[in-house]
Amino acid sequence: MRVDKMIGNAKLDTRRNIKRNAKKGALIINGEIVKDSSTQVDPNVDEVFYMGEFVEYFDNIYIIMNKPAGVLSATVDEDETVIDLLDDFYQMLDLSIAGRLDKDTTGLLLLSTDGKFIHKITSPNSNIEKTYEVETRDTIDESLIEEFKNGVEIKEEGYIARPAKLEIIDEKKAIVKVTEGKFHLVKRLFSNLGNEVVGLKRIAIGDLKLDPFLNEGAYRELNEDELELFLD
């Protein structure tokens, strides 16, 4: 792994500061000064000191959050982001977001320091379903079930969306399952078929369901059983 990520995960500093301080000689790997903070190290073998402090390695972090409306799914922005909702310890980590949600969309969000985990969740090739509760402006016509199944044409971008599952719960409420993460995808599936989404909440990623005890804006680390849901 990159040494700056190892240091960041140990909550010793931000990546920007690590890069600057490494150039000043603050990074020592196996007894030698290293000025490139992107240097690859093996945390289980290499001895790393930063700013005179021994860097202890620990495992990746996996966080589940119940995202509230009005907060961006971004790591850095002028407006409030989901990172701003985290404690200082987690804000120091090199976290990435697995499947972003629109600013006005609520529900299940995953964050992690594990790049392979993030890629697996977000890659369409993984065929991991993302499940949403949807509320629409108009009555949902039953014909949309077949339309979703066949792949809706997203006219704005000129492509056919992957087949999606639509289960109508009420006149204006439904459950939608998709396996890709195109921008505003669920909203576009409906808008391209003449309806409008007025409420959207992600309630599951794969077999992992949103924790009903997590209030909006709350988060916690995934437990071992939850992590195993994403193992091959």
Q: Measured in Å, how far apart are the chain's first and last C-alpha atoms?
A: 22
Contact yes or no for 151/162 (Cβ under 8 A): yes
Distance CA 8, CA 2 (A): 10
Question: Measured between alpha carbons, how far is 198 from 183 in angstroms, rounded to an integer?
Answer: 16
Radius of gyration of the chain (CA): 21
What amino acid is encoded at 156 in this protein? E
Quick check: is 102 catalytic?
A: yes
Q: Which of 36, 46, 102, 114 is catalytic?
A: 102
Sheet with 27-29, side-by-side order of all strands: 32-33, 27-29, 48-50, 53-54
SS3 87: coil
**CA atoms of 34 and 183, how far apart (whole Å):** 40
Return the biggest CA–CA distance within the chain: 68
DSSP at 135 = E
Count other Cβ atoms within 10 Å, centred on residue 26: 20
Residues labelled as active-site residues: 102
